[in-house]
């Protein structure tokens, strides 16, 4: 544990760790809008990988900056805790990078290159450590709902003409 995490009061530290470990996604806001990121909790911090081909974007997250991390409840979806993180980039091939990547590799779903993804991460991606330094369980007034961010992964096309007939026919068979 580093100095930043040690500065959190013990109850806040425990809440941040448990909530973040159990959440599949965290919402991270650097200098731009908040983004949902998959992560792993390892050695007192959340770790994310991205900014490479076939990986999640990490805009606004730079080494030495801070980011706001919002953690939601896995069962109800409501916000549990918001914490401020110190962002650091791990150097590929270092001990801490290797340890974080071992954890990340186990959580990465549908990697296009399977076992070779760690070499690709070392060449083309960034692995960031988000270490908590301040936490808050206070909830702001009003909704924080926002329209989804634009992405090339969105495919909005008209439904096929035959789909309604197929769905209606399937319901009549019962």
User: Domains along the chain?
Assistant: 3-139 (2.30.110.10)
The structure's pTM equals 0.79
Q: Which tens digit of pLDDT belongs to each residue from 127-151?
A: 999 999 988 877 666 777 778 777 7
Q: For residue 160, name the pLDDT band (cuts at 50, 70, 90).
A: confident
Amino acid 165: pLDDT: 79
The distance of Cα 66 from the centroid of its chain, to the nearest Å, equals 15
The proportion of the chain whose per-residue pLDDT surpasses 90, expressed as a percent, equals: 50
CA dihedral 74, 75, 79, 84 (to 10 degrees): -20
**Is the separation of the CB atoms in 61 and 104 below 8 Å?**
no
Q: For residue 109, name the pLDDT band (cuts at 50, 70, 90).
A: confident
More confident residue, 113 or 86: 86
């Amino acid at each position: 544990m580093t100095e930043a995490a040690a500065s959190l009061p013990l109850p806040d530290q425990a809440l941040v760790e448990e909530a973040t470990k159990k959440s599949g996604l965290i919402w991270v806001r650097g200098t731009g809008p908040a983004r949902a990121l998959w992560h792993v909790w390892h050695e007192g911090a959340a770790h994310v990988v991205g900014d490479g081909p076939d990986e999640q974007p990490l805009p606004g997250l730079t080494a030495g900056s801070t980011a706001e991390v919002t953690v939601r409840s896995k069962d109800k979806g409501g916000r549990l805790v918001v914490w401020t993180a110190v962002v650091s980039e791990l150097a590929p091939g270092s001990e801490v990078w290797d340890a974080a990547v071992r954890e990340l590799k186990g959580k990465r779903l549908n990697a296009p290159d399977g076992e070779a993804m760690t070499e690709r991460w070392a060449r083309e991606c960034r692995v960031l450590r988000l270490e908590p330094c301040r936490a808050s369980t206070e909830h702001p007034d009003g909704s924080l709902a926002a329209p989804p961010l634009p992405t090339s992964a969105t495919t909005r096309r008209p439904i096929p003409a035959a789909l309604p007939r197929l769905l209606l026919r399937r319901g009549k068979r019962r």
